[in-house]
Amino acid sequence: MKKSHDCIFAGFGGQGVLSMGQILSYAAMIENKEVSWMPAYGPEMRGGTANCIVIVSDSRISSPIVTVFDSAILLNQPSLDKFEHTIKPGGLLIYETSTIIKPPVRTDIEIVAVNAMEEARKLESKQVANVLLLGVFLALRPIVSSEAVLQALKKVLPPHRQHLLPMNENALVRGRELVEESRAAVMA
């Protein structure tokens, strides 16, 4: 049986949506998985809408075009409005609370609200909010390892941004910690 995971990352251009998908894709390739990364964005880029579909599979991927997803990481209200209904029942929706006014309403999926911008500010870099959300996602759906993600970050970050690797690693770890803290609070 084919084991695959279909994800969509969506938000405004400049929020790191495409980078999140690219990092996940590189990490999956490092682990010798089959991968499809399909970006889509408007001509305005920064400030316009952007999304990417990522499929990670243990076997060949027949098509990169997917209309329903196992998981969605949504960073703005237009993306939530557009993609909330495309998540499979039992799927996962992670959303950024600082940019979403009307939260998701579905009851047949797992919903995780994260104020990634605030958490990134605490790490002293709002630019790592996307990696923090990726950490949350991977804590809930460990389709690739943290080690592979860190190796992928080395490939994705351009040479003049390599000094940001420790900050990105901290964001990835903080995302996982948020999930652990949330689970601990539920257990208490």
| pLDDT exceeds 60 at position 2 | no
For the chain, give the longest Cα–Cα distance. 48
Residue-wise pLDDT tens digits, 40-52:
876 655 667 799 9
Q: Average pLDDT, stretch 174-186? A: 86
Between the CA of residue 40 and those of 17, 45, 46, 95, what are the distances in Å? 10, 10, 13, 19
Domain ranges of the chain: 4-187
Residue 188 has pLDDT above 70, yes or no: no
Tell me the CB-side half-sphere exposure of residue 85, using CA atoms within 13 A. Answer: 3
| pLDDT in the model for residue 47 | 63
% pLDDT > 70, the chain: 94
Is the per-residue pLDDT at 99 higher than 80?
Answer: yes
Angle between helices 129-140 and 165-187 (to 10 degrees): 50
pLDDT for 182 equals 82
* Mean pLDDT of all residues in 32-39: 95
Whether 31 shows a pLDDT value over 80: the answer reads yes
Confidence bin at 70 (pLDDT 50/70/90):
very high
| Beta strand residue intervals within the chain, DSSP E | 4-12, 34-41, 49-57, 69-74, 87-96, 110-114
DSSP H helical segments within 31-164, as ranges?
77-83, 116-122, 129-140, 146-156
* Strand 4-12 relative to strand 49-57, pairing: antiparallel
Reading phi first (left if > 0) and then psi (alpha if -120 to 50, else beta), residue 124 is in left
Of residues 1 and 4, which shows the higher confidence score?
4
For the residues 131-151, what does the mean pLDDT come to? Answer: 96
pLDDT tens readout for residues 106-119: 999 999 999 999 99
The confidence score (pLDDT) of residue 3 equals 87
Confidence of residue 167 (pLDDT cuts 50, 70, 90): very high
Is residue 1's pLDDT more than 70? no
Fold category of 4-187 in CATH = Pyruvate-ferredoxin Oxidoreductase; domain 3 (3.40.920)
